[in-house]
Structure 1
Amino acid sequence: MNSVLFDVPGPRARARHRIGTIVGGAAIVAFLGLLGWKLWVEEAITPDQWSFLTVPGIVLGLAEALLFTLAAAATAIGMAVVFGAVFAFGRLSDHALVRWPCLVVVEFFRAVPLLLLILFLFIAYGWALGPFGSLVIALTLYNGAVLAEIFRAGLLAVPRGQREAAYSIGMRKYQVMLLVLAPQAIRTMLPAIISQCVVALKDTALGFIIGYSGFVHEGDLIFTSIQYNNPIAVGIVLAAVFIVINYSLSRLAVHLESRLRRQGTTVVHVDEGVE
């Protein structure tokens, strides 16, 4: 099928594209090689910089901190799902006194920078919430606002005939939402929900600002110590762990989306939900 945006490249254009790809790839490899050599010369990635990985206590501390991070992300996303469902239903209400406050809440927490929200909760209520509570509630409010739009889009994506049929047999609106629309919408929203889990997990790193004993905070304790002083090595380890977990979740979301599309199901994306 010909594209309506540009002409299909001919033999010369394809040859130029291949040459550009090869030259660009070679330039990237050369840059990474130069960067690696520079870091080696500066003794930033030499074997002694990785010696912390051979200390059982440090490895155990990192594992425990990772569990704390995963616990914060799991708690936040669980609460965000509930928050999002409630405010999605509120935004679809026929009553303006319910619909407009829900709209204001959702738009407000979508617009507030997450870092400022975390700092505000910790400064204002940290005495009661602590670092964990401040981080989790901030993540809940932000991700819940995003999920509210995803849920709303998912509910609206269900064929109109489904709700009309439910109304025709005398079901009330809340019954239509809970018993007819929500079960069908959940399947279409799963990829977007999983993608939002990735966002929540990455954002737990912001807990470092308020001293939450998470994965990033534990890494900071390692590379700021006089014994190691190896921020690059520790940063590479932290990044690798986050990449593996987030990539696995992303692939799961892609797999679910592909499977749903093969079944002919309309899939709701994060960007569709937040427009």
Structure 2
Amino acid sequence: MSSVLYDAQGPRAKRRNVLFTGLFVVALAAVLWWVYTSLDDKGQLEWALWKPFVHSEAWSTYIWPGLQNTLKAAALAMVIALPLGAVLGIARLSDHVWIRVPAAVVVEFFRAIPVLVLMIFGLALYANYTDISSNDRPLYAVVTGLVLYNAAVLAEIVRAGILALPKGQAEAGVAIGMRKNQVMRLILLPQSVTAMLPAIVSQLVVIVKDTALGGAVLTFPELLSSANTMIGYYGNTIASFTAVAVIFIALNFSLTTFAGWLEARLRRSKKSTGAVLGAEDMEELNPAGVGGAFGTGGDGGGPGGITDTRPPR
């Protein structure tokens, strides 16, 4: 077995790795034991503090309504931020200055502002200039802040993903008569989606987690805010925050798992299928006709659209 990126480990390196692994396991066990004893000494592991989670009252009154609001805000922000970020990212690559420069200003402006500031600004905006009820304003403000910030970040992800493709991809499309919007839509975007997917999913995970900022500042009744309310009733701080952490981990793990499955599916489809141009595609690319040579009509073409230029026998 040959090694390309690094040299194969010798006996001394293997013993050293085993030693360091053992020391890490011992240190981790010591830390976990210290955490356990500290919580036990303060009575945080008593069954009475964890018992509410085995009854439906805590879930139906606190956890489930908060989770619904978290999912609602995150879903709305994702649905709006994804297409908006894609449009801004493509606009930043435009050849037209009047499109490229304003898109760059918008992206850099909102990317530089903390998402919490955008949420607070949105709340003040809706309170002073709209008729939205006070119960709905926190949701609108949270979604507004998440959309503005994450759309700017997603725009940079889209732009970087497209620029990462070899220039020959776009040049090949132009060479066969495609317009620039066709090159972007049919060649560049489909290829860059797979490469951009991990970064996009990471940003979607950020959207899910940042919904908690609305509960901390804007009194938005999301999952973490509902857990704080439950703590005031049951007095189980560690248990409530542990349950909330497990739920957030489960949500983000599900999102990451789905993205991994989708990425693998896209890669398999690219390997198993090829891009085949039909008659309609060729007519769109070559309006003069499909039958003739490139850029010519099809009336005088021979078989397969190739004009026979050989002299008669």
| TM tier relative to shorter chain | 0.7 to 0.9
- C-alpha distance in 2 between matches for 1:263 and 1:175: 21
Of residues 213, 217, 224, the one that matches 2:221 is: 213
Query: 1:223, CA displacement in angstroms?
Result: 0.4
- C-alpha distance in 2 between matches for 1:54 and 1:262: 43
Residue 223 (1) aligns with residue 252 (2): no
Larger Rg: 2
- C-alpha distance in 1 between matches for 2:45 and 2:120: 34
CA RMSD, Structure 1 to Structure 2 (Å): 2.4
- C-alpha distance in 1 between matches for 2:186 and 2:260: 27
Which residue type is aligned with residue 23 of structure 1? Answer: L
Residue 242 (1) aligns with residue 248 (2): yes
Q: Deviations over 1:32-67 (max 9, x none)?
A: 112112211211121111122134232113123212
Residue 203 (1) aligns with residue 210 (2): yes
CA contact (8 A) 2:77 2:144 kept: yes
- C-alpha distance in 2 between matches for 1:96 and 1:60: 54
The residue that corresponds to 1:273 in the other structure is none
Query: 1:102, CA displacement in angstroms?
Result: 1.0
User: Greater helix share, 1 or 2?
Assistant: 1
Of residues 163, 167, 171, the one that matches 1:156 is: 163
Residue 41 (1) aligns with residue 41 (2): yes
CA contact (8 A) 1:195 1:249 kept: no
Q: Deviations over 1:233-257 (max 9, x none)?
A: 1000000011112122223334445
Gaps of 5+ in 2: 272-313
Q: Deviations over 1:185-232 (max 9, x none)?
A: 33433333222221111111111121111111110100022xx11111
After the TM superposition, which residues 119-268 of structure 1 pair with which residues of structure 2 at under 5 Å, given as runs? 119-126=120-127, 128=130, 130-208=137-215, 209-225=217-233, 228-257=234-263
CA contact (8 A) 1:163 1:180 kept: yes
- C-alpha distance in 2 between matches for 1:117 and 1:162: 38
- C-alpha distance in 2 between matches for 1:9 and 1:205: 46
Question: 3-state DSSP class of the match of 2:220?
Answer: coil
Query: 1:264, CA displacement in angstroms?
Result: 7.9
Further displaced range: 97-106 or 73-82: 97-106
CA contact (8 A) 2:118 2:144 kept: no
Question: 3-state DSSP class of the match of 2:45?
Answer: coil
- C-alpha distance in 2 between matches for 1:193 and 1:34: 38
- C-alpha distance in 2 between matches for 1:31 and 1:110: 38
Size of the alignment, in residue pairs?
261
Which residue type is aligned with residue 134 of structure 1? Answer: A
The residue that corresponds to 2:77 in the other structure is 76
Question: 3-state DSSP class of the match of 2:143?
Answer: helix
Which residue type is aligned with residue 224 of structure 1? Answer: G
Query: 1:8, CA displacement in angstroms?
Result: 4.8
The normalised TM-score by structure 1 is 0.84
The residue that corresponds to 1:272 in the other structure is none
Query: 1:147, CA displacement in angstroms?
Result: 1.0
Question: 3-state DSSP class of the match of 1:224?
Answer: helix
The normalised TM-score by structure 2 is 0.75
- C-alpha distance in 2 between matches for 1:259 and 1:183: 13
The residue that corresponds to 1:109 in the other structure is 110
After the TM superposition, which residues 44-59 of structure 1 pair with which residues of structure 2 at under 5 Å, given as runs? 44-59=44-59
- C-alpha distance in 2 between matches for 1:259 and 1:180: 18
- C-alpha distance in 2 between matches for 1:166 and 1:261: 21
